[in-house]
Structure 1
Amino acid sequence: MSYLLLTINALLVIVNTTICSVAICFIAIVKLLLPTQKWKAYATQMADKAMWLWATVNARLLAVSNPVQWDIEGGEDLKKAGWYLLISNHLSWTDIVVLCAVFKDRIPMPKFFLKQQLLYVPFMGMACWALDMPFMRRYSREYLLRHPEKRGEDLKTTRRSCEKFKFHPTTVVNYVEGTRFNPKKQKSTRSSYQHLLPPKSGGIAYTLAAMGEQFESIIDVTLAYPDNVDKPFRDILMGRMQRIVVRVRVLPVDENVSGDYFNDKPYKRQFQQWLGDVWQDKDELLKEIYKP
């Protein structure tokens, strides 16, 4: 029965994603032809509504087949007409579905920073492009040593994308660890955290440098699937997801996150210390959540 549910849910999610992606792409084509910024902003709102529909249908589909107990705390004062930077730990593809389901009616629809390779995924990649989501091309340290002209490309990409976000309320999502957590990665990165990878300060610093003055708050989200630790995405498609824990903390945009990260070394150290403290608090929270 579980594998039948896996097949059915996967097909339904694919159909939902395809239909909503095509709708968003159609809106994007219309947006290119519109003459004024006001009309373009209206088209962006319509694309966000199509993404809201995608998130709502996914949440309903998966709720029907999963006996999920939602355990959500925090973030009661958030609003739809605001600008937010959302940071979160990253465990699985499930995280995107969960974040959209939890926040779709509380804040503007999230804009995710995506790997460049996802641009070429049929339908979904084009839809994410149409939603103005930034596609990041990550360069290794060795590559940058051979091609120093590529330094700063991510910052330029972030700034170009964030310019589009200034015209309508937006939530920018940054998975600070840069990749999904698993024990192998935890060991290879020599993480000092029990349930997290070390935070990468560059990505969030790029976003704050581009539009930090416009963010009203930073939303710090902690996600956990205590009864489905190993393969939460597979389990949710198979109807096995038991409990989803979401903890929301709203942080101010203050002197800790306002400065020149790239040229001011004392501020850079201060920022890294601030982010390390946020991550330490998150790790302590996850220890409590995962307690037997």
Structure 2
Amino acid sequence: MSWLRIAFGALLLATNSLIHVPPLLVVAVVKALLPLRPIRRVCDWLLTAIAASWIGINTALIRWFTHTRFVFDIDARLRPDGHYLVMANHQTWVDIPVLQAALNRRVPLLRFFLKSQLFWVPLLGLAWWALDFPFMKRYSRQQLEKRPELAGRDIAATRRACAKFMHIPVSVMNFVEGTRFTRTKHEQQASPFANLLKPKAGGIAFVLDAMGRALHSILDVTIVYPDGRPTMLDLFANRVREVRVNIRERAIPAELLGGDYQNDPAFRERVQNWLNGLWLEKDQLITQQRAA
């Protein structure tokens, strides 16, 4: 029976994507071919409206198709026309529909930094491209040793992506741990946090450097699954009893703006200490939520 639920749920989501992606691509092509400012503004509005509808229907399907209880604790003044840096812990692919359920239409469309390989995901890759999601190509240490000229390309890509977001409402999404939490990764890192991997400050620092004075604030999101980390199959099999989402709005510290993360060790330490402090609070909150 659970496999029937999963298959039917996947069919509904696929149908919703087939309805929304074609008009999204049409508008994106118009925007690319007619790069006049008034046309681009209308296209940006249409793209955002189509994406919000797509996400809204996905959320409605999840709520209708499952008995999962979503508990949102929001201490923030959310603005659909704002500029936010959104930071969250990352445990499972379920995090993404959870974030969308919590923030869709309350803040500008969440835009994730994606691995370049995801461009080739059928339909979704083109949709992410149309919505100006930044695609990042990661280079291994071995690749950089063989081709030193590749160093810094990620940073340049981050700057180009952020430049697009300077003049439109945006929520730049960053999973600060850089990967999904597992106990194996936690042990390999010797993470000092009970429920989290070590945060990576570089991506945050580059976004703040490129966009800091255009951002209104930081939205610090903590996602807790009281019954353990679920998979997408668990969600559609109706095996996720509850999801708790805590959202706190935080001011951007002035001392984190205008620094050189790459070349200034003192500034780099300042960013890392600030982020580790947030992560300690988040770790304690997760422990409290799981004990409640």
Fold conserved between structures, TM > 0.5: yes
Deviations 1:96-139 (A, max 9, x none): 11111111121101011111110011110011011111011111
What are structure 2's unaligned runs of at least 5 residues? Answer: none
SS at match of 2:177: coil
- 2: CA distance, partners of 1:72 / 1:273: 28
CA distance in 1 between partners of 2:18 and 2:121 (Å)? 11
Amino acid at match of 2:83: W
Q: Which residue of 1 aligns with 2:87?
A: 87
Q: Which amino acid aligns with 1:45?
A: W
**CA distance 1:230–1:70, shift in 2 (3 Å):** closer
SS of match in other structure, 2:178:
coil
| Residue 192 in structure 1 maps to residue 192 in structure 2 | yes
CA RMSD in angstroms, aligned pairs only: 1.4
Q: How far did 1:181 drift?
A: 0.7
Name the CA distance, whole Å, in 2 between partners of 1:230 and 1:106. Answer: 26
In the other structure, the counterpart of 2:136 is 136
Q: Is the 8 A contact 1:226 1:243 kept in 2?
A: yes
d(CA) in 2 for partners of 1:239, 1:166? 40
The CA deviation at 1:232 is 3.5
Q: TM-score, normalised by structure 1?
A: 0.96
For residues 17 and 202 of structure 2, what CA distance do their matches in structure 1 show? Answer: 31
Structure 1 residues 256 and 220 mapped into 2: Cα distance closer, same or farther (>3 Å)?
farther
Name the CA distance, whole Å, in 1 between partners of 2:156 and 2:35: 26
Alignment: residue pair count: 291
Paired residue secondary structure (2:122)? coil
- Residue correspondence of structure 1 range 26-45 to structure 2 within 5 A: 26-45=26-45
Q: CA deviation at 1:21?
A: 2.1
Check conservation: 1:195, 1:287, Cα contact below 8 A: yes
> Mapping of 1:54-93 within 5 angstroms?
54-93=54-93
CA contact (8 A) 1:189 1:197 kept: yes
Q: Distance in 1 between matches of 2:19 and 2:212?
A: 34
Measure how far apart 1:46 and its partner are.
0.8
CA deviation profile, 1:122-180 (whole Å, cap 9, x unmatched): 11001101111101111122322222111111111111111111221110000101111
Q: CA deviation at 1:275?
A: 0.5
Which amino acid is the alignment partner of residue 255 of structure 1? A
Alignment of structure 1 residues 139-218 onto 2, 5 Å? 139-218=139-218
What residue number does 1:13 align with? 13
Cα distance change of structure 1 residues 192 and 35 upon mapping to structure 2, 3 Å threshold: closer
CA contact (8 A) 2:221 2:247 kept: yes
Judged with a 3 Å threshold, the aligned counterparts in structure 2 of structure 1 residues 76 and 252 are, in CA distance, closer, same or farther, namely: closer
Report if the CA contact (8 A) 1:87-1:219 is conserved.
yes
- Return the offset for 1:58: 0.8
Shift of 1:52: 0.6
Instruction: Give 1:35 deviation, angstroms.
Output: 4.2
**Residue 46 of structure 2 corresponds to which residue in structure 1?**
46
Residue 241 (structure 1) aligns with: 240
1:233-289 CA distances to partner (integer Å, 9 max, x unpaired)? 221111222111000111111224212212221111010000111111111111111
Question: Could you tell me which amino acid in structure 2 is paired with residue 78 of structure 1?
Answer: L
Find the aligned partners of 1:80 and 1:53 in 2 and give their Cα distance: 14
Give the Cα–Cα distance (whole angstroms) in 1 for the partners of residues 113 and 208 of structure 2. Answer: 14
Distance 2:275 2:35 in 1: 42
Give % identity: 38
TM-superposed deviation, 1:77: 1.1
CA-CA distance at 1:192 after TM superposition:
1.4
Matched residue, 2:288: 288
Identify the range of structure 1 (140-149 vs 22-31) with the bigger mean alpha-carbon deviation: 140-149
Change (3 A) 1:256 1:234: farther
Helix, strand or coil at the partner of 2:244: strand
Contact preservation (8 Å) 1:219, 1:249:
yes
Residue identity opposite 1:127 in structure 2: A
Q: Secondary structure at the match of 2:57?
A: helix
1:250 aligns with: 249
